[in-house]
Amino acid sequence: MSKQTLIYSFVAKGNVVLAEHTSFTGNLSTIAVQCLQKLPPNSNRFTYSCDGHTFNFLVDRGFVFLVVADESVGRSIPFVFLQRVKDEFMHRYEGIINDSSSHPLADEEDDGLLEDKFSIAYQLDREFGPTLKEQMLYCMNHPEEISKMSKLKAQATEVKGIMMENIEKGNLF
């Protein structure tokens, strides 16, 4: 794919960026951190648009995953990318992630055991930065596959919603 659709990504704990990747120069990282600081505290998925780019956030267990994308790519590829990165991150660090963490911006309490690994800016840059790069390249080089995955997930969510409605109404069994 000739056009770079995914431009910049990071993983953060609260407002502390732990790892990032971009192949470009510019101020996207500065803008991304400013957006991170303004992220609504009760949101698990959020997108800001600015100057032809989308800043797409996925929040899980106190960690924030971001990808900046060209606006023309839409939202499905960025969010599939974020899900892939989140899954890889959670799998890799599952032994030290506190499952009961709240939203990273909801309170400012220390995490105790997590403080060493997840409180120092860019602590995981060498360790997890290459994973961000690999996932960005994979998603940019396989957009058809990523789009299919996104559509399948949307269909599964729709079917689940219909089934839940039917269960609530007592229409099943």
Residue located via tokens 């030290």: 96
Query: Span 132-157, mean pLDDT?
Result: 73
Question: Given pLDDT bands bounded at 50, 70 and 90, which one contains residue 94?
Answer: confident
Residue located via tokens 């390249």: 137
At residue 120, the pLDDT reads: 83
pTM, rounded to two decimals: 0.73
Burial (CB count within 10 angstroms: exposed 0-12, middle 13-18, buried 19+), residue 142: middle
At residue 112, the pLDDT reads: 47
Q: Is the pLDDT of residue 84 over 70?
A: yes
At residue 106, the pLDDT reads: 47
Query: Span 161-172, mean pLDDT?
Result: 72
Most confident of 76-80, 93-97, 147-151: 76-80
Higher model confidence: residue 59 or residue 27? Answer: 59
Q: Is the pLDDT of residue 18 over 90?
A: yes
Query: Span 30-50, mean pLDDT?
Result: 89
Strand partners, 69: 6, 54
Higher model confidence: residue 168 or residue 2? Answer: 168
Average pLDDT, the chain: 80
What separation, in Å, do the N-terminal and C-terminal C-alpha atoms of the chain show? 49
Q: Is the pLDDT of residue 105 over 80?
A: no
**Which three-class secondary structure string do you get for the chain?**
CCCCCEEEEEEEECCEEEEEEECCCCCHHHHHHHHHHCCCCCCCEEEEEECCEEEEEEEECCEEEEEEEEHHHCCHHHHHHHHHHHHHHHHHHHHHCCCCCCCCCCCCCCCHHHHHHHCCCCCCHHHHHHHHHHHHHHHHHCHHHHHHHHHHHHHHHHHHHHHHHHHHHCCCC
* Rg of the chain taking only CA atoms, in angstroms: 17
